[in-house]
Structure 1
Amino acid sequence: MNPNDTLSAFSLLLCVLILSAGRGELLFNADDNVVQLDFASFESGLSEPTSGKLVQFFNGFCEESQNFIPAFKNLSRKLYKWHRLLKVHVLDCGKDENDMICSIYSIRKTPTLRYFPPSYKLAPDNLGTEITHRNPKEIQSKLALNLQKLDYFKMFKRQDNVAHIFQTHKDIEYVAFVFQMCLDHFLPHLETGNSMEEKYASQGDCNEDNPIVSLIGRNTLLELLPYRKVVVRIFDNHDVYNKFGISPVPNLVVLVNKAGKLLFLTPEMDSSKAYVAAIKQFLIFVDLKPQKPLPKTPPANISEALRYEIFEQHKHHPSRIYRADLERAIDQILNVKFPGTTHFAGAKIVVLRNFVKLIYNSSPLKPEAREKLANLYYSLHVKKQLSGVGFKNLLLKSVKDYVFDGKQYVGCIASRPSLRGFNCSLWVLFHYLSVESKKLKPKSVLLVFLGYVRFFMNCKECDMKISEFKKLRPIANVTNDDEQILWLWEAHNYVNKQLAGDSTEDPKFPKIQFPSERDCPKCRNNATEWRTEEVLHYLKGIYTLKNLSWFGMSSGKHAIE
């Protein structure tokens, strides 16, 4: 839990969010034919035996994932007509609890689309079939090629029994038999798919070595899936006609009902569109309706959906510290606060150098940032004075194209603009540095912290309160790393107490004396007396590198492993 948070504040805010929430606050929902999986439901979801699965591995904080949301929503709604044979799922790789799954399935970027067959079981050489296309028609084409391998598309043979189909599918009323038109038999079927892969695959249709369903038969079957009381079967053997007591003719659909009565339909031309039209016309006549269409849904409000997800994280994981907050603090300091300074000299440039050294030694950033920060530090090391513009130029030269993945505050989210945010993340950053900077001299973190507050922090009250606390707890008394951690904790609580209830306080996140009794029951002997050994143990536990959450980062842990 972040220092300024309380359970009552979380509960109140979450209630407000839930009561005011609409479906638009979710990135994906069932009314768009999308079911979200997580670490607990993923394996059982993929092992379901009756249908194929399309899974999008996404990260809501990733810009590419966000850009793909509208197209994927439209695609999933179109795929609803295939719902009998295909389920559409999403898995959020941005959540810590799903990270192991995304690592196992080698998800290196988001969004990633994979197709999984029915009864899928994980194997090292089978992590699903990746679909690299982003065009909806191309994706549908790839899915159709995979779906046609299902038992549902097996050819109806001379020895097969029509009655067995009705026994297997007890709720159906009609079986529609479609003869696939092949060059060896009648006329070449000219129907092609949506992709070059599908067109190429169709060239080998309908021969003894490759007895797969033709595109006409397959597409007819797919288009009629919304009619749950109808099953389509394809046959490619003239002898099957004898089963129905008729002679082989082109463009013929045979309908059989439960009583075994035959009805013959003649489509206007040899195409799945004509076949489907003929069958649908009959179904209208006998008053058989397709499945109900999906309800209309509003476009996903991505920013509101992410805020909702952030508050859900607070609710379920109150003691997590987020990399996104640390990145936001470092990004703001390096790219806004320091470049906005008119001139660095004397104590100011010492604070600047030592801050970069701290981040270099105990960086919560991605691995590639370490070398870049080292270059920046050595560039600053030889400077006795520097302008803000000069620092910006050094930063651009050293850090170059490094991208900060923390795009918004998570643990430091505010109920309205101008509250919490950077100031909250600054405290979190220095608490983290006080725990992780074990290799540096005692007081190193505190000296940088005090220097930053004095020279760069746009909060006169904070500077004044910290100065007051320094008189109560002289920094000269800090002689080791543990005392440094506790000094910063006491200073933070002192400032919280002094500023509680003023205009800087977020009403949804009151400034408290942390940790709360809920977060650390052992940290107090009673309502007022702290047990510093337990507090120290608590601080070392939550502000350590291994406890940092990847939630809120545009690239997850799995993407850099």
Structure 2
Amino acid sequence: MLKPLALLLVLAGSQCAPLGDLYLPDDDVEILTIENFKRYVENSTSAWLVEFYASWCGYCQRFAPPWKQFATEAAPWRDLVRVAVLECSDEINTPICRDFGIVKYPTVRYFHENSHFDGGDKGVIVPREFPVTVDAIKKNVIERFMTEMGEGRGVVYPNLLPYLHSDLEPFFDEEDDDIFYGFLVVEDSDSYLGGEVALDLHKTPNVTIRHALNNNTKLVKNLQIGKFPTLVIIDRNNNTQIVTENIEHKKELKATIADYLAKKGLKVCETTPEKKGHLSLDPHPDPKQRSRTLLRQKIKKMGDAVFQMDLETSLRYALLREVSTTKVIKGEQLAALRAFLNVIKKYFPFGYNSTSFINNLTNLTSSDEVQGVQVQVLVQQADDSGVFSTPQRFLGCQGSANRFRGYPCSLWRLFHYLTVNSVLLNVSNRKANPVEVLGAMHGYVKHFFSCSHCSEHFQKMAAERNLTSVSSLEESVLWLWEAHNVVNKRLKGDTTEDPEYPKEQFPTRLRCPECYGEDGTWRKKEVLKYLKRMYGRYSVRYVGSDTKVLFPGLDR
């Protein structure tokens, strides 16, 4: 008879690690997959802005709300440029992310109109800033459009290049004969108001909307402009009108233009083209959701327990969806991969059928360079041949929503496990390298961990906390424990925090009262004992594992 936890696991389903829920069909972004990416983006009459992301990535979670808001505000531009997303943490999309060299998330790529992938068009990275805002996204995107126009592309856009003349006499020289009215926004050099309004109203007939910068001093002087932004209205008869009030914001500026055109019997045109089609959400409730919730609640009561399922899922995710997405691995990256596989080979709790798999991986990295797809093939073959004892899903690291916990949680647990077992398996080895696991972790996070902001934070912390100065294996266990608590403290209350699993200093007083002194300070010797108990090889829980894979003959 199945035990209660195992029964719940069966009822909850054995699907792969769940996909994210950052973007939904109701959002104004286009949702791309391997099935529609090339069909929509290649040879498109419009340009595309595509965010490549992973749902578990904290930076991606912070990036999603402003990206969605940008897509909403840029909806009138859809006939010119489409705003889209593609989830690289979905294994089915790995070939796309590998082909386009996406190794850090989020990455935003701009694909110009009529892009030809066979011709080497891989898109252009659009800069992103942190903290991210809608205004910062707009500024970077419009600057990309202007660069495209300056390089002879971007023919789909209205003229977004600054007006450079010193007077208005040549204003209509490059315009079609059916352009009767011009609107020139003279603005600060770091403003994009004029460009944004030109894009919003690009379908309005008989008008052109341009912008000039306040560093065009001759024009500013000739027009006697002393305030920015200023709107200059001009018609074919060189009649001009200068407006300085109620135009500082896009809504006000557009209203001013609309009012002027209405007096001329014209209307502004600001239509929103439809999105491309994609799969809609299943309207029927998930019958297994209740079982998953009950399972999560029971697992939560087990506290800091380490599950074989989380360790195996973490390793497969790392190899399949991070290492494998790197098209060619060489140099420092390859050295980092060798170090990572070395500690995996030594300390990971594989079953007895794993020798050929891990040897094949390490032999593969003995060459001067490795193709990411070669790693993918070996891991998939191992999965098919029963090397792993569990399905690809999270158990102790499953969050209350798909975007919470998951892979980052499991990766922390994997490295805690590796540091602890490097101590336990090297008791009599005085020559053991005290930073063997920490160095491998640092190399992996630097070169392969795909959440770019998280990777940068860890590298900075490693330098500040002198990772390389760790002098014993036990000290390496405590170094990683302290580093993890530093991250927990930084992320406590953050938007990426799972409300059902708030960030706490671990172990909690409830789990390890002896780890705390009377004054609340840590008793590190007791913490070390606790970590050895929790992450030791014989403390791993095998809920959902096929123990015949791990311990052949056990059932005889």
TM-score, structure 2 normalization: 0.45
* Rg (Cα) greater in structure: 1
Bigger RCO of structures 1 and 2 (CA < 8 A, at least 6 apart): 1
